[in-house]
A and B are shown apart, each in its own frame.
Chain A
Amino acid sequence: MGRYGYIVLFFAVLIGPVVARALHNQGQGRETAASGGEKIVIITPHGQEIRNEFRWAFADWHKQKYGTAVELEFLNPGGSSDVRRQLDTIYRAIRESHGGQLPPEDQIDTGIDMVWGGGDFEFNNRLKPLGVLHPLDLSAATMAEVYPQPALAGVKLYDQERDKSGKLLPPRWLGVCLSSFGIIYNPDIYRSLGLPAPRTWKDLTNPRLFGTLSLADPTHSVTAAIAYMMVVQRAMAEAESAFLRQPQIQGKTYGEVRAMPEYKGAIDLGWKEGMRRLVLIAANARFFNDSSTEPPNDVAGGDAAAGTAIDFYARVTVQTVGTERAIFVAPRAATAITPDTIAILYGCHGKQLELANHFIEFILSPEGQRLWILKVGAPGGPREVALHRSPIRQSAYQDRTGWADDLNYFENAGGFNQRGDWMDTFSELPQIWAAAWIDCRDDLLNATRQIMKVQDTVRRDELLFELSDIPVVRQNVDDEIAEEARITADHSQDPDVWRAKQRLNWAAKFSEHYNRIGQEAAEQLTP
């Protein structure tokens, strides 16, 4: 080919798709230009499907209801931790330029009106303390209509902070749809391994699954962290019911029982049992994924026998590859159900605030809620892709015609609720889990491999028990939380350094533990 031939080819390949697309769009009569006029800027980790469907539906709805077309403009810096980091960067800069304080809302312009997506824990425990969420003004009637019950399975559906006098403050975040976290497994691989299908988290502790699980990283996915917390809470609940069945407890009130030191001891043992189960699951992990879409892909592709999965990812995967290669299980009485969340950002004012409130009105309306779950083509449904997520508005479940999935968390959430009083250790646990499962991963895997070589099955089980019995008790975590609170209050140490050191300390402790048990197993092998 001549030198000009290559240049022509280069431009043909470069421009070809652009021209082809323009022709295609002309044929289909698709509009490509974004509508001008008013817009709401939303920062979000949500993917293209959700952004597009809500953009189109909201523009139509707004035009119909308020007579003007309003465009949603999205900023998408990555996952929810990236969103938070960006908001932190922006508001930190504003504080720095205003002497350490945020000025009144009408004096700043961040260029971003809302934040959408990330879940209740992220919004409540991470974003709200940054002071970046604007108090929302919703009528009591609307709140009662959308959220007839303020919580589901122990998880709050919207911000319910109270002031010192106990009065409910205006919410700073709202739940807009629901999702749960469960197990996705590949029946084909399970058959090959000769294992029965998993039903509970405990089934994933089977050492025959070594190297076949694809798990979500608890420090990157709050939803995953809550699911792991449910494993711990489940073990605590089992310990509690065993304790309550004891003869000496009969006749006592629950309050009296809870005051007993033996009760605390029993619950703490349950906590430890939960932590132990998690170590066994982690020892079977092949990967710890940052993105929650990965485990379903690993399972469907045959790379993992089972994995952790958010319900709607799992549902789409099952739909795509069929039930021969993927099945989703919501583990009995240990499913974490969490709301996806939205908030208006501090500094949104005037016309922008009015528009942002319109979007909240839409997303909580019956039309907005149905958009989450309807099939493509159903009246009021999505244009291109079904979103497979569950409405949070309870009344939306009354009519399920045209739904892509027939489910109702409000009916199925029973069995076991997340216990608020057992969430005390949660703020520190992801760090400890990461130290035990990810930072010391090589040591954990080596020790497990050594143990699996032990022929004597009784001794092998003993060693596995010892391995999973990592040197941490509930009291350690409680102490750590208290210590952190003290340090933050009295400024005696830099909390960041302290936290970083803690994780390193834990990792060193766990590493030593794994190596010691691995050594014990190796000694069993040498005759």
Chain B
Amino acid sequence: MRFSTRAGHRLLSLALYAFFAVCFFWPIARILARGFETQDGSFTLQYVGLIFSDPQLVRGLVNAIGIAFVVTALCLCIAVPLAVLSVRYEFPGRGVLGGLMLAPLVLPPFVGALGVRLLLSRLGPLTVLLGMGGGAGFDWLGRFRAIGIIVVEALHLYPILLLNLQASLAGVDPSMEQAAANLGASRLKVFRRITLPLIRPGIFAGCTLTLIWSFTELGTPLMFGFNTITPVQIFEQITDVADNPLPFALVVVTLGVAVGMYLVGKVLLGRSYDSAATKASVASTPRKLSGLKAVAAWIPFAVVLGLALLPHVSVILTSFSATAQWYRSVLPRHFTLGHYQAALTDDLAIPSVTNSAIYASLATVIAVAVGLGVGIIATRSKLRDRGFIDALSMLPLAVPGLVLAFGYLAISVSLKQKYQNALPIWLNVQEMPVVFLVVAYAARRLPYVVRSVVAGLQQTPVDLELAAANLGAGRMTVLRRITIPLILANLIAGALLAFAFALLEVSDSIILAQKEAYFPITRAILELAQRLGDGVYVASALGVWAMVLLTITLLAANRLLGRKMGAVFRI
């Protein structure tokens, strides 16, 4: 039996709704209900009202929104020139630089923060290097809190924007720009009037992700001890020893703001446009740079990399530093391999590696499948709720990981109560958290895949698919032979981000994986980092291993996809 296209889309959309209902709404509702529920169970808006009547919480929101916009603007300033240089110009070392530019993405949590903290510590390498290490040193983290947060976040998040811009730029039909140039437009005017509008989906995708990420970012402000910012306020209250409904209401407000940001972005940048006009059938030939011009092209890369790789260097040096031997000095005083041996013999570290690889791979498969579905509905269907489905898939970005994690936990517990021993072991998170972890990772990382797929589909002319269908190809054949190959680069880019971030996922890993046998890497790193004495060093050793694995993942995918990967990284 064959469905009409519309019926097919409707069926797909129902499947997506089912996924969202089970994987987002159920857990979120279980927890967010606390934000709308009085103790006797009746509905209230008091808590949400309370938030707006409190100057501290309002200030927290203003700070979070302000910082998010500045971070995004800074990311744009970093990513646009880099994307243009890497896509439009050819110069020696471009390939190596391209891989390295993604390095901030492979910085594992906890040790990444420890790396930054160590680097900027009062008596740390930076202070000593600048000759300020005498006396009590200089308190970088304490003095430059807001600026510090913005710089650290921008240097961490620019690759998201860079990836999207590169994919979009590579998809721009050079004939359009050539035509404009032929008509006498200056290079700047071509960029402003032709290129920029054409890469708008990429800018929208990248900016939305960066904006919402930096708006909900918890680790960095926490590291700088900046409390008047919404994510920290939520975290402080949710982990508070007293039972308090306010953080849940604050999560609701956060969700609202994040959805608002998404919608504003969509209005400003994400307007759909004539897709037939885009997607280059031929890639533009990069202009060759040599001599001084090539050197000049290197400078922005070197500056950004030099800053962005400092935390990595710091983590690597820590992993080789003898315990407590990096104090009032630029480099550790003594080096050792002992921490790697300690990590190797640790009962948690190595099994966690295997666990994480399994969880992250499974989660990526799910995220790609669902992401592709959302992309197809959002760009290829005429369903009235297509925009809504697209927006739904972005929700996990705005929900703090802790909330989703506690939601899953609550579901598992209530299932256990209902079905007692009849409950299959894989639905009991205390016994076997694998399924919950995989679903949580997939749900949390879905937005990257969706944005990437949608950007690809928007730039791919629908005519090609229609032509194939006219020639008698079935829907699956069109998907397999036309659509997926055309957007493969976007799909891979999304999948890579999903895999990398799933490997480094924090909240779900901590709340859901409670049994040592199921610990993923992040949980093992946290456990090690808290170990007294050499903990930080051994955790760094495991962190270095994770960075190496992620770097190889990116390089391997790059190599495997050959030129198609080039459309994303374009290096």
Q: Which residues of A contact B (CB under 8 A)?
A: 1-3, 6-7, 9-10, 13-14, 17-18, 20-21, 24-25, 32, 34, 41, 43, 47-49, 52, 73-82, 84-86, 88-90, 93-94, 96-97, 109, 111-112, 122, 126, 189, 192-193, 211-212, 217, 219-220, 222, 286-288, 290-291, 293, 297, 300-303, 305, 312-313, 316-317, 319-322, 325, 385, 388, 430-431, 434, 438-442, 491, 494-497, 499-501, 504, 507-508, 511
Contacts and interface: CB of A to CB of B under 8 A. Distances in A.
Chain A contact surface mostly: helix
A446 to B, nearest CB: 11
A202 to B, nearest CB: 21
Contacts of A86: 409
A139 to B, nearest CB: 33
Contacts of A494: 38-40, 44, 46
Contacts of B536: 297
Contacts of A501: 50
A215 B414 CA distance: 38
A428 to B, nearest CB: 10
Contacts of B324: 300, 320-322, 325
Given A75-B430, A325-B327, 7 more contacts: A13-B552, A14-B549, A32-B347, A93-B416, A93-B417, A219-B241, A302-B123
Contacts of B57: 504
B385 interface: no
B184 interface: no
B515 interface: yes
Contact of A111 (B123, B327, B428, B517): B428
26 contacts: A10-B552, A13-B545, A17-B350, A73-B515, A77-B511, A78-B510, A78-B511, A86-B409, A88-B243, A89-B413, A97-B414, A192-B134, A211-B142, A286-B139, A287-B225, A288-B227, A303-B121, A316-B532, A320-B533, A322-B324, A431-B242, A496-B39, A497-B38, A497-B47, A497-B245, A499-B244
A97 B327 contact: no
Most chain B beta-carbon neighbours within 10 Å: one of A25, A52, A82, A126: A82
A7 B556 contact: yes
B327 A93 contact: no
A302 B417 CA distance: 50
B394 to A, nearest CB: 28
Interface residues of B, number: 89
A69 to B, nearest CB: 18
Most chain B beta-carbon neighbours within 10 Å: one of A89, A189, A495: A89
Interface in B211-269: 225, 227-228, 236, 239-246
Contacts of B118: 301
Contacts of A320: 323-324, 532-534
A441 B227 contact: yes
Contacts of A6: 552, 555-556, 559-560
Most chain A beta-carbon neighbours within 10 Å: one of B50, B416, B531, B532: B532
Contacts, number: 234
Contact of A3 (B50, B527, B559): B559
B110 to A, nearest CB: 11
Given A75-B515, A491-B40, A504 B54 contact: yes
A132 to B, nearest CB: 13
A497 B43 CA distance: 13
B135 interface: yes
Contacts of A111: 416, 428, 430-431
B420 interface: yes
B275 interface: no
Interface of B: 38-40, 44, 46-47, 50, 53-57, 117-118, 121-124, 134-137, 139, 141-142, 225, 227-228, 236, 239-246, 323-324, 327-328, 343-345, 347-351, 353-354, 357, 406, 409-410, 413-414, 416-418, 420-421, 428, 430-431, 510-511, 514-517, 527-528, 530-534, 536, 545, 548-549, 552-553, 555-556, 559-560, 562
Contact of B239 (A10, A81, A297, A322): A81
A13 B50 CA distance: 52
A192 B417 contact: no
A128 to B, nearest CB: 14
A84 B241 CA distance: 9
A219 B345 contact: no
Given A52-B347, A78-B510, A441 B228 contact: yes
B142 to A, nearest CB: 5
A286 B245 CA distance: 28
B532 A317 contact: yes
The 3 A-B residue pairs whose C-beta atoms are closest, nearest first, are A302-B123, A6-B556, A316-B532
